[in-house]
Amino acid sequence: MKSYSSPKETGGVHNFNAGPSILPKEVFEEASQSVLNYNDTGLSILEIGHRTPVFQSIMDEARALIKELMQLDDDHEVLFLHGGASTQFMQVPMNLLNEKETAAFADTGIWSAKAIKEAKLFGNVDIVCTSKESGYTFIPKDFAVPNDAKYFHITTNNTIYGTQWQKIPNVSIPMVADMSSDILSRQINFNSFDLIYAGAQKNIGAAGVNLVVVNKNILGKVKRAIPTIMDYRNHIKEGSMLNTPPVFAVYVSMLTLRWLKNMGGVSAMEKLNNEKAALLYNEIDNNPLFTGTVAKEDRSKMNVCFTINDKEHEEKFLAFVKQHNIIGIKGHRTAGGFRASLYNALPLTSVQVLVEVMKDFVAKLS
């Protein structure tokens, strides 16, 4: 197993951005080389036709790596589509939900709420649980999902608030998940979902492509006419090459997936992600100046949200971390406070530096 690049190798900057976000240094190097000359073809990756054997093998490898890393069975198809996760908010109900049918949703944040809004354009929505009243600071526990709903949709990790489903609910109807911000970060039985989608720009690769994993058996059951480009079955039939795919974004994803496999796959990532999150939460809990913002048992290992106890110090702290080349920890504009995103490619050393800086900051004040 390779070791993480040191922050020196990442240009000395500790990048805690929420998305687009840090990717492995090795991926940046190889991708930039390929922009100039892909694999000694004398051509840039940006000028290679998508129907050529060169790109076909990139697409094939990316799809195969997803299948392998997620340990998907033969029913689950892998697609790389345009439009980001936000397009899936409407594409999912368009393909799965008839007008008179109901989809069940857990409302655990802004992204869930946006998925709910789009689903209402296609059928009925039953919000079976919500943590909205508390500012989305926890994952609801006691709720029932009706057996006659068409599917149950969850957002596995709530990027803005820093909550994460630690236990995937066990329901008798098909599960659909937005995994944009924690895909491939921990071991999950991915086959237990009938549809998974994730914008690539948080944990998989460059912005501009969206991963969709779909159980082909749930398709073809709605009555409405689906526009060709929106119908998953057409993309499956064409091997995710129905039209020109986002070539460069797929390529960067493939390189990141290769890196992930070299690192030891999802189980190795989970171990490192647990270590990074434990280190930072431990500091938040023990440093008198900081407070975690969500229920402890629901804390995200990808997006760590916290506040400073004296609002007056907020700007000073941001300036202080900046001096130490820590970037991207200002909280989302709707949530405030701080958010440190610890995606797969973020080295443990960056978290160690952040923790040291938090200690130094409080020491300086006293």
Ligand X SMILES: *Cc1c(COP(=O)(O)O)cnc(C)c1O
Q: Which residues bind ligand X (CB under 6 A)?
A: 19, 84-86, 111, 155, 159, 178, 180-181, 199
Q: Which residues are catalytic?
A: 111, 178, 202
SS3 128: strand
Both tokens of residue 265?
């796959």
Residue 43 CA to residue 31 CA, distance in Å, equals 13
Give, rounded to a whole angstrom, the gap between the first and last alpha carbons of the chain. 43
- Helix, strand and coil content of the chain, in percent to the nearest 5, comes to 40, 15, 45
Shortest Å distance, C-beta 252 to ligand X: 15
Residue 278 CA to residue 274 CA, distance in Å, equals 6
Which CB sits closer to ligand X, 162 or 292? 162
Instruction: Please give the DSSP secondary-structure letter assigned to residue 147.
Output: T
Shortest Å distance, C-beta 82 to ligand X: 10
Which CB sits closer to ligand X, 34 or 158? 158
> For residue 154, which amino acid is it?
I
Shortest Å distance, C-beta 258 to ligand X: 22
Residue with tokens 């008198």: 288
Q: Rounded to 5 degrees, what are φ and ψ at 351?
A: -70, -40
Shortest Å distance, C-beta 49 to ligand X: 26
Shortest Å distance, C-beta 129 to ligand X: 17
Which CB sits closer to ligand X, 111 or 190? 111
Residue 87 · residue 81 · CB < 8 Å: yes
DSSP per residue, 153-181: EEESEETTTTEE-SS----SS-EEEE-TT
- Residues, the chain: 366
Burial of 323 (0-12, 13-18, 19+ CB in 10 A): exposed
Q: The dihedral of CA 300, 304, 310, 315: what is its sign?
A: negative
Which CB sits closer to ligand X, 169 or 264? 169
Which CB sits closer to ligand X, 178 or 298? 178
What's the CA angle centered on 216, arms 119 and 124, to 5 degrees? 20
What's the CA angle centered on 23, arms 327 and 10, to 5 degrees? 60
Q: Which residue's CB comes closest to ligand X?
A: 84
> For residue 226, which amino acid is it?
I
Shortest Å distance, C-beta 15 to ligand X: 16
